[in-house]
Structure 1
Amino acid sequence: MYGLLLQSASEIIRARYGQETWEKIRIALHLDSNKFSAFQQYGETLFVRIAKILSEIINEPVSDIMDLFGVEFVSFISSYGYDRVLRILGHNMRDFLNGLDNLHEYMRYTYPRMRPPSFYVEKETVNGLTLHYRSHRRGFIHYVAGQITEVGRRFYNTEVEIKAISESEEFDIVHVIFQLEFENTAYSKQITSDKDSNELDLTIDCHIFFDLFPFHMVISESLEIISAGDSLTQLFPNIVGELVRDIFNLVRPLITLNWSQIVLHSNNVFEFSTIEPLRKQPDDSELTINQTGDQFPSDMIITTTPPRDVQEEYLRLRGQMLYVYEWKAIIYLATPVLENLDVMFNTGLFINDLSMHDSSRDLVLAGTQQGAELKLALDQERQKSKALEESMKKLDTEMKKTDLLLYQMIPKKIADRLRSGEKPVNLCETFESCTILFSDVVGFTSICALLTPMEVVSILNEMYTKFDKCLETHNCYKVETIGDAYMLVSGLPERARNHAAEIIDMAFDMLDSIITVTNPTNNEKLKIRIGCHSGPVVAGIAGIKMPRYCLFGDTVTTANRMEQMSKTLHIHITDTTYQLLDRKIYEVQECSKLMLNGNTSLSTYLVLHKKDRAGNIQLRPFHKVLQEITREEAEIAKFKQNADAKSAETTNHVSSTSKTNGVSRPSPPNKTKPVESSKSQLISDITAHSTPNSLSKIKIQHESTMKSMEHSETPDFNKSIQRQSHSKTCTIL
């Protein structure tokens, strides 16, 4: 099967059902390219397989699809110029059907390896006729019916109703009988003209008639050759008296070679080929003996030329069968099929053996002269076709890359609608329920202050790459990233019932991923906080330049607020999201209510763990890091409490020594010693009890506490000195 039929099917599918449907069919059939070469041959069953897969996708019968392919094929071949061939087959629909079997004969030079079907007409009436269809291919009955219907409507302005009344198989040939109903006015006109022609009697001598057709055969009812032309007699001296089937094979039409079938197919072109080859090229290897000068005979070199392929030439005849009533015989008026002079020479024929009244001689000579040019043109076309196929493959590759990039920026569903020509404003859609996630890196501003811009980009790229890989296993859509903020949504653009659970599972994976990213400023693990909220949103494309799929609504604002109020390595959710979760699977901890807009309180929760089917808590990698952070915070709080207690004791001691009447006046140098000893004692305690990881943090916090104590003590000392001086002055006075 040539690619012309397959290319028509692919373009019809893309035009009617979209590129996405054709991609599904191409993947199912393992086709590498989107295009078919019109002059290249493909598998015989590929066309029917395409129709069957399309039938499964669109849930329509295969018969309707094949009928559609047949109707649209008539329009498709117009781009190749074959509509003109269809127009010149006859003046009306009757002429077209009677010459339908010869249609493929006109195209044999363009498609030399074509296996055409066979058609012939019988039982004509003024209301229609019966059409016989034979083919080696199976499954093309409705395809042929669609083509015939469309040709009648498009070229002959005739409405044709066609139905298959019989279907059978003869060896490997499918035989279908169609009943066609249409206004067959040409048939009634022919009957009238035949009556008028019977009144004219012009006789001619048979010998004159035979001289006009040197390749004719007169065949009796038993298919015996009772007369043959001079040229045939030269090739086959004993041809007269032989049976046709003993010398020739019937190439077309696809019928049984007998008297009744030949009479029925008088409107068809009959092509015969000889059973035995006329001449055979020698296949013996030629031996060439090369002698060099006066060397010895033993030095003679024997070289063998490569054996040539055996070329067997068969005589092919093509012509028409006519029944002669007066002879009670059939006369076969034929001419030999000779592509060029080489074929003629190999069959033993010469130019003067061909008849003069037709164009046989001109065709042979013209074919020889133009053969080289046609071969060169064909080679160039093949090269162009090959280059075009390579270009199409590269184009398909680039289109796939473009599609992949587009689908990463915009959901596939929305991108396909944009391609179809919809305006962005028409793509806005309201989703009644979805879950939105925001995440943020803890202390990201301080980290950026200590790093170069390239280092910041490197950290963000590593973090977002890990998050994006987590998306592959969850039904979530990445909306956007702004700095260190990461925004996800589940439940759109494809609606889902379990969108809250999808977001929480994604959040757990994000927490596991973030602890694998290192902060280069202190070689500690990066930490994020996550906030989630569920509710209605409006989603759509915003803008023309750099279009993005954006979400709008209070749900987005609330989810962002939940992230801001979240804790390190925690998932902070609202009560709305909590109600959508399965409480048997997720373990949560209730938090204090969150005030929104100053007057609305919202219950919030922290999602702590997820349980397996047996009800056991699943410990994830980030839980270990979270436990270390909790332990460090407890130690810091404990030592801070001890520091506050010692600071209070020191303050009480100073105030008791500087009380009433100014009698007790310790000197300032003695005053600072207890404070210094208290500070050194506190630091030694911290050093002894702190863990290595938390030591630096604890020292910094308690040094700041000691400084605040010193600043708070200095004013009290000055006040004590002033009171003492004032008491002494009073005493002197």
Structure 2
Amino acid sequence: MYGLLLENLADYIKSKYGEDKWEEVRRQAGVEQPSFSTHQVYPDCHIPRLAQAAYEVLDVTEQEFFDQMGVHFVGYVSQYGYDRVLSVLGRHMRDFLNGLDNLHEYLKFSYPRMRAPSFICENETRQGLTLHYRSKRRGFVYYAMGQIREVARHFYNKEMRIELVREELLLETVHVTFQLTFDNRAFTLASLTMTREEKHLPISASVLFEIFPFCIVFSSDMIVRSIGNSLMVILPDLVGKKLTNWFDLVRPLIPFKFQTILNRTNNIFELVTVEPVLTERQSAKRSNMLVLSDEIETDFDEKKLRLKGQMIYMDNWRMMMYLGTPVMPDLRALITTGLYINDLSMHDFSRDLMLAGTQQSVELKLALDQEQQKSKKLEESMRKLDDEMKRTDELLYQMIPKQVADRLRTGENPIDTCQMFDSVSILFSDVVTFTEICSRITPMEVVSMLNAMYSIFDTLTERNRVYKVETIGDAYMVVSGLPIKNGDSHAGEIASMSLNLLDAVKHHRIAHRPHETLKLRIGIHSGPVVAGVVGLTMPRYCLFGDTVNTASRMESTGEPLRIHISPACKAALDTLGGYVIEKRGLVSMKGKGEVMTYWLVGATVGAVQCREVI
């Protein structure tokens, strides 16, 4: 699958939903490339994976997503000049639909490995027609519907209704039948026959076969009756043989039968020999230069003769004439199939295109190689940039909650992030005799000790789904109930966090003083707060209100290796149930007077509160 389709998908999501949604879809789909090269081939699994992720992230259905992506494609390819090709493909909408296979043949020059679908029109009336769509790829039905409808609207100013009549899988090929309803008055004009007297100009068969050196004339039983001069040289035994035994029909995707071909004469037909062509060069090896050319490794299919052209029913003969020309991308293909320049038609540009293409191929290949190298470097730079952005996000989310940071990214004023929370629980912890410990060790040892302790605390913070507000020296502050409100569970989450902290410090040893253990003092209070981002140079997510002060007082009036909780916190835990609480008594607090407080002693397994990350 070429990157053009993937780039269209990415551009559609970016233009309609924003860059952030595209990044989310890409990450969820597991696609590492941030962008795609239009002429590079990518795995076929990319589109289904990206589409599946888009259904969930964008909350859209398969039909809506692919239909709108098809509509977007028509405008997207205009930046590459393909809008001009689409605008001249047919005078009327019916002509465009009949020439869709021709469009894909043209695109094969730019995308040689393209596995193009096949489109066949039938049952045409003034009100529309039946369109048969065949493709080796699955999942692009609605994509094609969106493209066709948008072409009708954009280039032909027609409103079209497309009905999916039937969809089936035949021999690994998706066969879909559409009923297209639109103003098709052009069909009536095309059906009018003009009578005029013409003088019959006789022409001999020898002249005809010289003008069309690769033509094939075959009867209704598919027996070859005559062939062109050049084809006679490389396939001298073809006449009198059954065409289907010598050639396979590659396009369109229809049965290789006379009547079927007769009904599809408005399509381009591509034939390829069943067996590789045995050339004079291979049998005689008459030139060292040609022998060397033949010794170049070639794929099995490259040695086969490939013809592309038109089927015309000759009524006087009661036979079908195939006016084909060889598909030759370069001189190498010409050599491989045993053809020469003079074998090609003189009346068209076959010879000129072959020689001019060979002259430019070296320069184009060099330019392509250079562009691919630049593209690889750009992709590597974008991958590194993506990694750095992830690291930046991780650092940002440590300072500011993700939900708040995402609001700031959209340009929202920091003041507008301030929000009132009716009920949260705040935990303060402090290392007892921290100053004394610091006086007995070096500054670097102090830093090492705090780093080891806070690494453990941060792990517990993530496990209990609480938010770390800040650390100042040995003081550690966490909160539950914001920025995501969680009902009455905030007290339980903080209580579980505090019990985990005590259990962790009891088993933690100071690296430079292994015989000593840290003694932690913890205080918890529940109540209302105001939270938001403050500061410009160093923005921080801060909490304000009496609840913060009370929680700090609960910590400072507590005891080592004990969890001191307020009456409000006790009431919240009693509501949740499962926590073991002991009464401490009245405690004098600055600015509060005498306050009845409690000790949190433990909890049952069922009382542990946690939630999934949102």
CA distance in 2, matches of 1:333, 1:423: 70
Residue in 2 that maps onto 1:242: 241
Indicate which of 172, 179, 203 corresponds to 1:206: 203
The alignment yields a C-alpha RMSD, in angstroms, of 3.0
CA distance in 2, matches of 1:257, 1:542: 75
Mapping for residues 679-698 of structure 1, pairs under 5 Å? none
What SS does the aligned partner of 2:114 have? Answer: coil
> How many residues of Structure 1 are paired with residues of Structure 2 in the alignment?
588
Q: Give how far 1:455 is off.
A: 4.5
What SS does the aligned partner of 1:345 have? Answer: helix
The yes-or-no answer on 1:512 pairing with 2:503 is yes
Residue in 1 that maps onto 2:584: 590
Residue in 2 that maps onto 1:549: 541
Residue in 1 that maps onto 2:363: 373
> What CA deviation, in whole Å up to 9, does each residue of 1:148-193 have, x standing for no partner?
112222333322211111223332222111111122243333345x
Structure 1 residues 563 and 191 mapped into 2: Cα distance closer, same or farther (>3 Å)? same
Residue in 1 that maps onto 2:164: 164
In 1, are the aligned partners of 2:122 and 2:131 still within 8 Å (CA)? yes
> What CA deviation, in whole Å up to 9, does each residue of 1:74-107 have, x standing for no partner?
3333344433332332234222212111111112
CA distance in 2, matches of 1:613, 1:173: 56
CA distance in 2, matches of 1:347, 1:411: 67
Letter of the 2:168 partner, please give it: S
Q: Give how far 1:525 is off.
A: 3.7
In 2, are the aligned partners of 1:596 and 1:602 still within 8 Å (CA)? no
Higher deviation after alignment, 589-598 or 311-320: 589-598
CA distance in 1, matches of 2:327, 2:514: 90
CA distance in 2, matches of 1:415, 1:596: 36
Q: TM-score, normalised by structure 1?
A: 0.74
CA distance in 2, matches of 1:567, 1:433: 26
Residue in 2 that maps onto 1:605: 598
CA distance in 1, matches of 2:513, 2:384: 46
Runs of at least 5 residues in structure 1 that lack an aligned partner in the other structure: 285-306, 615-733
Letter of the 1:159 partner, please give it: E
Residue in 2 that maps onto 1:529: 521
Mapping for residues 165-564 of structure 1, pairs under 5 Å? 165-192=165-192, 195-196=193-194, 198-207=195-204, 208-279=207-278, 309=297, 313-445=303-435, 453-496=443-486, 497-515=488-506, 516=508, 518=510, 524-564=516-556
Q: Give how far 1:210 is off.
A: 4.1
Structure 1 residues 283 and 63 mapped into 2: Cα distance closer, same or farther (>3 Å)? farther
Higher deviation after alignment, 548-557 or 45-54: 45-54
In 1, are the aligned partners of 2:29 and 2:52 still within 8 Å (CA)? no
Structure 1 residues 443 and 580 mapped into 2: Cα distance closer, same or farther (>3 Å)? same
What SS does the aligned partner of 1:473 have? Answer: helix
> What CA deviation, in whole Å up to 9, does each residue of 1:654-698 have, x standing for no partner?
xxxxxxxxxxxxxxxxxxxxxxxxxxxxxxxxxxxxxxxxxxxxx
Structure 1 residues 608 and 314 mapped into 2: Cα distance closer, same or farther (>3 Å)? closer
Letter of the 2:258 partner, please give it: W
Greater relative contact order structure (CA < 8 Å, 6+ sep): 2
What SS does the aligned partner of 2:586 have? Answer: coil
Structure 1 residues 224 and 433 mapped into 2: Cα distance closer, same or farther (>3 Å)? same
Letter of the 2:596 partner, please give it: S
Letter of the 1:406 partner, please give it: L
CA distance in 2, matches of 1:323, 1:51: 45
In 1, are the aligned partners of 2:586 and 2:594 still within 8 Å (CA)? no
The yes-or-no answer on 1:581 pairing with 2:573 is yes
> What CA deviation, in whole Å up to 9, does each residue of 1:173-219 have, x standing for no partner?
22111111122243333345xx33x3252533232444422222233
CA distance in 2, matches of 1:212, 1:325: 20
CA distance in 2, matches of 1:445, 1:409: 27
The yes-or-no answer on 1:133 pairing with 2:147 is no
> What CA deviation, in whole Å up to 9, does each residue of 1:482-514 have, x standing for no partner?
233211101112222321122122222323344
Q: Give how far 1:234 is off.
A: 2.5
CA distance in 2, matches of 1:611, 1:55: 41
What SS does the aligned partner of 2:464 have? Answer: coil
> What CA deviation, in whole Å up to 9, does each residue of 1:616-673 have, x standing for no partner?
xxxxxxxxxxxxxxxxxxxxxxxxxxxxxxxxxxxxxxxxxxxxxxxxxxxxxxxxxx
CA distance in 1, matches of 2:25, 2:234: 54
> What CA deviation, in whole Å up to 9, does each residue of 1:540-577 have, x standing for no partner?
21133222111122211221222222223322211110
Q: TM-score, normalised by structure 2?
A: 0.87
Residue in 2 that maps onto 1:52: 52
CA distance in 1, matches of 2:39, 2:220: 42
Residue in 2 that maps onto 1:694: none
> What CA deviation, in whole Å up to 9, does each residue of 1:571-594 have, x standing for no partner?
221111000114542232232055
CA distance in 1, matches of 2:513, 2:271: 91
Residue in 1 that maps onto 2:67: 67
Q: Give how far 1:447 is off.
A: 5.0
Structure 1 residues 455 and 170 mapped into 2: Cα distance closer, same or farther (>3 Å)? closer
What SS does the aligned partner of 1:472 have? Answer: helix
Structure 1 residues 558 and 8 mapped into 2: Cα distance closer, same or farther (>3 Å)? same
Q: Give how far 1:533 is off.
A: 0.9
In 2, are the aligned partners of 1:463 and 1:517 still within 8 Å (CA)? no
Letter of the 1:568 partner, please give it: P
Q: Give how far 1:366 is off.
A: 0.9
In 2, are the aligned partners of 1:283 and 1:308 still within 8 Å (CA)? no
In 2, are the aligned partners of 1:591 and 1:603 still within 8 Å (CA)? yes
Q: Give how far 1:270 is off.
A: 0.8
Larger Rg over CA atoms: 1
Structure 1 residues 78 and 590 mapped into 2: Cα distance closer, same or farther (>3 Å)? farther
> What CA deviation, in whole Å up to 9, does each residue of 1:280-333 have, x standing for no partner?
67699xxxxxxxxxxxxxxxxxxxxxx874666222211111223343332222
Mapping for residues 71-150 of structure 1, pairs under 5 Å? 71-150=71-150
Q: Give how far 1:335 is off.
A: 1.5
In 2, are the aligned partners of 1:587 and 1:611 still within 8 Å (CA)? no
Identity over the aligned pairs, expressed in percent?
A: 49
CA distance in 1, matches of 2:122, 2:437: 92
CA distance in 2, matches of 1:372, 1:273: 27
Letter of the 1:383 partner, please give it: Q
Higher deviation after alignment, 477-486 or 461-470: 461-470
CA distance in 2, matches of 1:352, 1:174: 41
What SS does the aligned partner of 2:55 have? Answer: helix
Higher deviation after alignment, 461-470 or 55-64: 55-64
Structure 1 residues 82 and 530 mapped into 2: Cα distance closer, same or farther (>3 Å)? same
CA distance in 1, matches of 2:589, 2:239: 113
Residue in 1 that maps onto 2:558: 566
What SS does the aligned partner of 1:558 have? Answer: helix
Higher deviation after alignment, 561-570 or 2-11: 2-11
CA distance in 2, matches of 1:574, 1:179: 73
> What CA deviation, in whole Å up to 9, does each residue of 1:335-361 have, x standing for no partner?
122223333233333222222221001
Residue in 1 that maps onto 2:610: none
